[in-house]
Chain A
């Protein structure tokens, strides 16, 4: 059962390049299984107000190398818990990218973009299209490998393996 909406229309929170996982969720908050606590500290060293202004369904937009640094899955989990529905970036660090898909947080790599803070975006996850309604432009995301699409369709790797028992290509 898919738990992911395939069309999203929401507001963009825009940040810059090389947002590392320490900035997404500082190491001191990561050691917990109570995932709801992560949302209170998400992006706290980058934008202390973020957790107050983010609304369920909002979109996070960044530049290059989003999620570099630690392997902590708590980084995409914190974003998901805070209500972020999809992360768009010019490109991603590889572990963050895998982690996000594995926990069922859609991520789209769209290359160079000019999305501005507060822009209204509409996204078609199936087609990998990002429409910037405010600026009246659109971007095409890099296609995910089929196995990642399959994992995302199931809502994450836990559901995927529960259903399939093993990986298939």
Chain B
């Protein structure tokens, strides 16, 4: 019987063929926790009898959710993480090195065909790399770090096939917002997603990460982009599904006429064509996060804002996904363009997306954000409203002071 990508990857790890619905205990290739989940992970690791992590080269801690520390309580949690990493001989990614998912990919903690478990819900991002990656909570992650294993149910898979090429000025973010709107926030709960078809084949690794990242906004356990067209700077063996693999559901969309998409408050699946929201006045524009803080995202924003100033009633915050992204955006001039246009640069990390610090909106304010979540209170104030869009949409909106279709600036 044919297998999906998830079934193949899990089979490779447990040593025999497995199919959807089976419970397995699988070896894990890598594990990480952030400063939201790490301290509880360390506490649970010690309480469950953990002495040494299963492999210090495959485990990492990342300080990204509240970096640098905004208060003494969080400073002490960061210290706890630094101490634990040192004691275990594992790497700790310091403040400003970047968002967990970005640094895991840049530093090759995860590769095609791997099973990777992260204590962060956006861990499916590594599905861009043709890996099986799941988010878990702190205690699950502590158990992975201690045993090198995880128990899981082999998921059923939803296939999302998109034919046609995206128009100029329409990006991977618009595509994934469109798909979240169609599948809904609970449409893939417990299941894996495979993304395939012409629309994905031409996408960069960064864009594939944007796609896989928002699998979690559909409730999925993991979301894997088919490897056709995937280019990495090392050799890898691609995992593809069998022709007779079984899917629980298949979606088929022609996206050649897709327009830029916006997700309105207060659920990521509240997605409509941007024309429904044009002229909505905004106060605050944000580009960053594990969804859209990469070089191509900063480049497209710089292209729109080059030689211009953002609207006087708007403030704009940029949080590059990693130090490496920041350095590249400095070298190619994008960062200079964005700052000259009036944007404020903050430390590479999760920034205002998690509502802890670095840019909490005021009561009644409207945010246009390149992030992946717009739940009520997400950015720290339940009395603000968050719209999600592509980095291009965020930049065009910052320029005009209202939600703006970026296509006119790009074609």
Contacts and interface: CB of A to CB of B under 8 A. Distances in A.
Contacts, number: 141
Contacts of A26: 355, 377, 380, 382
Contact of A71 (B37, B142, B143): B37
B267 interface: yes
A22 B375 contact: yes
A103 to B, nearest CB: 6
B44 A158 contact: yes
Contacts of A146: 23
A94 B189 contact: yes
B174 interface: no
Contact of B356 (A28, A69, A147, A157): A28
Interface in A111-141: none
Contact of A68 (B35, B65, B219): B219
A15 B153 CA distance: 29
Given A27-B354, A31-B74, A167-B25, A74 B40 contact: yes
Interface string A96-122: 001100110000000000000000000
A72 B139 contact: no
Contact of A33 (B40, B48, B123): B40
B140 interface: yes
Interface in A67-82: 68-74
A94 B23 contact: no
Contacts of B77: 31-33
A158 B48 contact: yes
A31 B356 contact: yes
A148 B43 CA distance: 21
A50 to B, nearest CB: 14
Contacts of A95: 121, 135-137
B207 to A, nearest CB: 23
Given A93-B189, A157-B139, A167-B151, A23 B25 contact: no
B148 to A, nearest CB: 10
B377 to A, nearest CB: 4
B365 interface: no
A158 B25 contact: no
Q: Max chain A CB contacts within 10 Å: which of B120, B135, B149, B189? A: B189
Interface in B22-52: 23-25, 35-37, 39-40, 43-44, 47-49
Given A31-B65, A93-B186, A23 B121 contact: no
Nearest to A151: B151
Contact of A161 (B65, B146, B219): B146
A58 interface: no
Contact of B139 (A31, A33, A73, A167): A73
A72 B186 contact: no
B190 interface: yes
Interface in A29-81: 30-33, 45, 64-65, 68-74
B119 interface: yes
Contacts of A103: 139
A166 interface: yes
B314 interface: no
A31 B147 contact: no
B221 A68 contact: no
Contacts of B43: 33
Given A27-B378, A27-B380, A147-B23, A91 B186 contact: yes
A22 to B, nearest CB: 4
B47 A162 contact: yes
Interface in B273-311: none
B335 interface: no
Contacts of A20: 375
Contacts of A93: 186, 189, 219
Contacts of B382: 26, 45
B73 interface: yes
B355 A22 contact: yes
A169 B137 CA distance: 21
A47 to B, nearest CB: 12
Nearest 7 A/B pairs, CB to CB:
A73-B137, A99-B137, A65-B186, A71-B121, A45-B382, A102-B139, A45-B377
Interface of A: 18, 20, 22-23, 26-28, 30-33, 45, 64-65, 68-74, 91-95, 98-99, 102-103, 145-147, 156-158, 161-162, 165-169
Given A22-B375, A167-B147, 4 more contacts: A22-B376, A22-B378, A70-B36, A157-B44
Interface of B: 23-25, 35-37, 39-40, 43-44, 47-49, 65-66, 73-74, 77, 119-121, 123, 135-140, 142-143, 146-147, 149, 151, 153, 185-186, 189-190, 219, 221, 267, 354-356, 373, 375-378, 380, 382
14 contacts: A18-B267, A26-B382, A33-B39, A33-B40, A45-B377, A65-B189, A69-B121, A72-B36, A73-B137, A98-B136, A102-B140, A147-B23, A161-B146, A169-B151
